[in-house]
């Protein structure tokens, strides 16, 4: 009997989390990769800059990899490419704006010679045994696509991130007809975006925000300062349109927004009326009623332009009483407090701030329950894998599919590294490949792990106390020290007596060790550590890291 053909779907990131999306689609020995994103560090990942998927499985199987398909240009879908492409030489397929953003990103990492193919929605690309169709979806960035991957065992649909916008800013709606046609012909498996599965109803149209902008821009007597995600090109378009309608000139401030506006404009994704986009100097010289500034910082990021303005620390722009600041974004979970703080500071500077809690200045880019149901019913898949969401969202999305009549055993709530395997006879969830987080800190890729993080945690809570002694190699007597140095523990000036007592404890401990003929450094150090740990806990109820260092001379 010949070996049975196998189709495998292996998520390497994006399941049980929001971020670092990456999925392998494999048929026997041929493999595609969908997206390669980053995630932002969790609170306890102290000092970490970004997190990427552990893609060792991809590297180990790189001979099988035929291409990387990228659904859209958000960081959680493209952010791992600069790392992945150092280790791989493989073609990328993406739409024009997505590729523009990827290339700008790779250039920063000195990766200039990648193989890239621009695709358009409805294009079909043949890669080995696979036929890949790109399908337009709506999202909070233009040029987003879902994928239909036709394999000998059937068609796999990956929605990418999507919503259904009946009145999109670009005029281009999610390709209902293609999804319906695929559903008609038969879909083996659907992978669908779970981000907003907790929200009932439909997600509002992006153009709704444009109407709110128009009104706010008309009402503002002085300058408008509008903060949004840099990549939300449609949002930027709507702000520019609202500015033009109210006779305002627009300047863009903030590195990432300047970058995106430049790329989007060059590639024709922005329609900017002549003389409307000017430099910041010109906008600053205009009367307030004619000025609009687009900027970054909608998440209250400490270094962003808006946060600097709020803290009165921006190089060029000073908030003036009467300015209207529009925050056109929702706080991403975890950013609520920094956003609130930025808003407070803006109010203190005298600005009038319009923010999400009290207005309609933002809509999500992800579909709510009704759109998710529509996707399931349009594509009528035999099997379903909810993707792009934390664990509870995957569960809720699975429940949604069950409500529409799918059999529970045909729904796979998988994890990163899970193998969902399809054969002629059926499908099953089983087996695992390596998957996980790789932490990036500065230039270090994966060199910060649990021990380093645990140390950073302890250091961050109660600081460190270092005890240094020089001992005589022959007698074991203390020749210099003990000296005590602390950082992040207590104010030294106010704790002199406690630190003096600590030195005395060290001397006593060393003396006792000498009397007991203990000479091994590891034991000496551990006795000193224990004695000091007790001492400081009694005095302060704190547990600084205690680090005895011994040097020895003749």
Q: List, as residue ranges, the binding site for Ca(2+).
A: 47, 49, 441
- Considering beta carbons, is residue 16 or 91 the nearer one to a copy of itself? 16
Residue spans of beta strands (DSSP E) within 281-351: 291-295, 324-327
Shortest Å distance, C-beta 464 to a copy of itself: 6
Residue list, annotated binding site for Zn(2+): 72, 74, 76-77, 139, 161, 388
Interface ranges with a copy of itself (CB under 8 A): 16, 42-43, 46-47, 198, 333-334, 336-337, 340, 343-345, 347-348, 353, 357-358, 390-392, 395-396, 441-444, 447-449, 451-453, 455-457, 459-464, 466, 468-470, 479-481, 483, 485, 487-491, 494-495, 539-542, 545, 547, 549, 551-553
Shortest Å distance, C-beta 365 to a copy of itself: 18
Q: Are 358 and 150 in contact (CB under 8 A)?
A: no
Shortest Å distance, C-beta 83 to a copy of itself: 14
Residue list, annotated binding site for substrate: 230-232, 362-366
Token pair, residue 314, equals 């921006």
Shortest Å distance, C-beta 331 to a copy of itself: 9
| Burial label, 425 (beta-carbon count in 10 A; 0-12, 13-18, 19+) | exposed
The Cα–Cα gap between 123 and 107 comes to 27
3-class state of residue 413 by DSSP: coil
- Considering beta carbons, is residue 183 or 389 the nearer one to a copy of itself? 389
Q: Which residues pair with 353 in a beta bridge?
A: 325
- Considering beta carbons, is residue 434 or 551 the nearer one to a copy of itself? 551
How would you classify residue 422: left for phi > 0, otherwise alpha for psi between -120 and 50, otherwise beta? Answer: beta
Shortest Å distance, C-beta 36 to a copy of itself: 22
- Considering beta carbons, is residue 96 or 456 the nearer one to a copy of itself? 456
Residue list, annotated binding site: 47, 49, 72, 74, 76-77, 139, 161, 230-232, 362-366, 388, 441
Q: How many CB atoms lie within 10 A of CB 8?
A: 17
Nearest to 373 by CA among 237, 141, 190, 150: 190
Catalytic site residue 271? no
The Cα–Cα gap between 427 and 410 comes to 8
Q: Are 355 and 386 in contact (CB under 8 A)?
A: no
- Considering beta carbons, is residue 271 or 399 the nearer one to a copy of itself? 399
Catalytic residue among 35, 54, 193, 462: 193
Shortest Å distance, C-beta 299 to a copy of itself: 14
- Considering beta carbons, is residue 180 or 468 the nearer one to a copy of itself? 468
- Residue 419 φ then ψ, to 5°: -110, 120
DSSP calls for 122-143: T-EEEETTEEEEEEE-B-SSTT
DSSP calls for 87-111: H----EEE-HHHHHHHHHHHHHTT-
Shortest Å distance, C-beta 491 to a copy of itself: 6
Catalytic residue among 150, 314, 366, 397: 366
Catalytic site residue 366? yes
Q: Are 30 and 8 in contact (CB under 8 A)?
A: no
Q: Which residue has the tokens 């995957």?
A: 394
Q: How far is residue 236 from each of residues 101, 141, 299, measured CA to CA in Å? A: 16, 10, 16
- Considering beta carbons, is residue 180 or 549 the nearer one to a copy of itself? 549
Residues 6+ apart with CB under 8 A from 6: 26, 27, 28, 421, 422, 423
Token pair, residue 358, equals 């009290």
DSSP calls for 436-455: -EEEEETTEES---HHHHHH
Token pair, residue 253, equals 């401030």
- Considering beta carbons, is residue 28 or 501 the nearer one to a copy of itself? 501
The β-bridge relationship of strands 426-432 and 437-441 is unpaired
| Burial label, 477 (beta-carbon count in 10 A; 0-12, 13-18, 19+) | exposed
Shortest Å distance, C-beta 399 to a copy of itself: 10
| Sheet with 130-136, edge to edge strand ranges | 124-127, 130-136, 145-151, 154-158, 187-193, 381-387
Q: Are 327 and 353 in contact (CB under 8 A)?
A: yes
- Considering beta carbons, is residue 188 or 354 the nearer one to a copy of itself? 354
Radius of gyration of the chain (CA): 29
Residues 6+ apart with CB under 8 A from 518: 524, 527
Helix H or strand E segment including 67? strand 65-69
- Considering beta carbons, is residue 271 or 496 the nearer one to a copy of itself? 496
Catalytic residues: 193, 366
């Amino acid at each position: 009997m010949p070996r049975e053909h196998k189709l495998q779907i292996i998520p390497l990131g994006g399941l049980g989390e929001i971020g670092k999306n990456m999925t392998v689609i494999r048929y026997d020995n041929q493999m595609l990769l969908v997206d390669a994103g980053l995630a932002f560090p969790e609170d306890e990942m102290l000092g970490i800059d970004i997190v990427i998927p552990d893609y060792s499985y991809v590297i180990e199987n790189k001979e099988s990899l035929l291409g990387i398909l990228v659904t859209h240009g958000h960081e959680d879908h493209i952010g791992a490419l600069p790392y992945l492409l150092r280790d791989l030489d493989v073609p990328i397929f993406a739409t024009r704006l997505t590729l523009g953003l990827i290339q700008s990103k790779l250039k920063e990492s000195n990766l200039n010679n990648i193989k890239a193919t621009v695709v358009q929605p409805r294009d079909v690309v043949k890669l080995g045994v696979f036929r890949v169709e790109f399908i337009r979806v709506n999202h909070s960035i233009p040029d987003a696509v879902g994928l239909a991957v036709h394999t000998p065992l059937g068609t796999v649909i990956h929605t990418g991130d999507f919503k259904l916008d009946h009145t999109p800013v670009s005029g281009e709606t999610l390709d209902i007809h293609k999804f319906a046609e695929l559903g008609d012909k038969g879909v083996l498996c659907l992978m669908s975006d779970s981000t907003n599965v907790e929200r009932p109803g439909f997600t509002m149209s992006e153009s709704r925000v444009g109407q709110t902008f128009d009104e706010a821009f008309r009402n503002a007597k002085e300058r408008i300062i509008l903060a949004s995600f840099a990549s939300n090109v449609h949002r930027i378009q709507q702000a520019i349109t609202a500015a033009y309608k109210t006779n305002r000139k627009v300047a863009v401030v903030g590195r990432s927004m300047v970058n995106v506006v430049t790329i989007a404009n060059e590639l024709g994704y922005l329609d900017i009326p002549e003389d409307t986009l000017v430099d910041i100097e010109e906008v600053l010289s205009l009367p307030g009623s004619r000025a609009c500034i687009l900027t970054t910082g909608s998440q209250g990021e400490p270094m962003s332009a808006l946060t600097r303005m709020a803290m009165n620390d921006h190089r060029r722009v000073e908030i003036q009483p009467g300015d209207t600041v529009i925050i056109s974004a929702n706080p991403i979970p975890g950013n609520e407090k920094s956003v609130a703080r930025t808003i407070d500071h803006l109010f203190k500077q005298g600005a009038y701030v319009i923010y999400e809690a009290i207005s309609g200045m933002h809509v999500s880019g992800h579909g709510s329950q009704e759109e998710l149901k529509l996707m399931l019913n349009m594509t009528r898949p035999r099997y379903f894998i909810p993707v792009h969401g934390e664990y509870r969202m995957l569960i809720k999305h699975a429940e949604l599919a069950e409500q529409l009549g799918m059999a529970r055993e045909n729904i796979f709530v998988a994890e990163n590294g899970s193998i969902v395997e399809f054969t002629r006879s059926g499908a099953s969830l089983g087996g695992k490949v390596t998957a996980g987080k790789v932490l990036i800190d500065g230039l270090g890729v994966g060199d910060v792990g649990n021990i380093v993080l645990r140390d950073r945690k302890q250091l961050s809570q109660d600081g460190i106390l270092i005890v240094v002694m020089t001992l005589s190699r022959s007698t074991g007597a203390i020749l210099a020290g003990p000296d005590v140095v602390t950082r992040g523990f207590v104010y030294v000036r106010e704790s002199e007596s406690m630190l003096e007592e600590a030195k005395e404890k060290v001397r006593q401990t060393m003396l006792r060790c000498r009397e007991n003929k203990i000479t091994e450094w590891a034991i000496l150090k551990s006795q000193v550590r224990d004695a000091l740990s007790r001492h400081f806990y009694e005095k302060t109820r704190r547990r600084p890291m205690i680090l005895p260092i011994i040097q020895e001379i003749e």
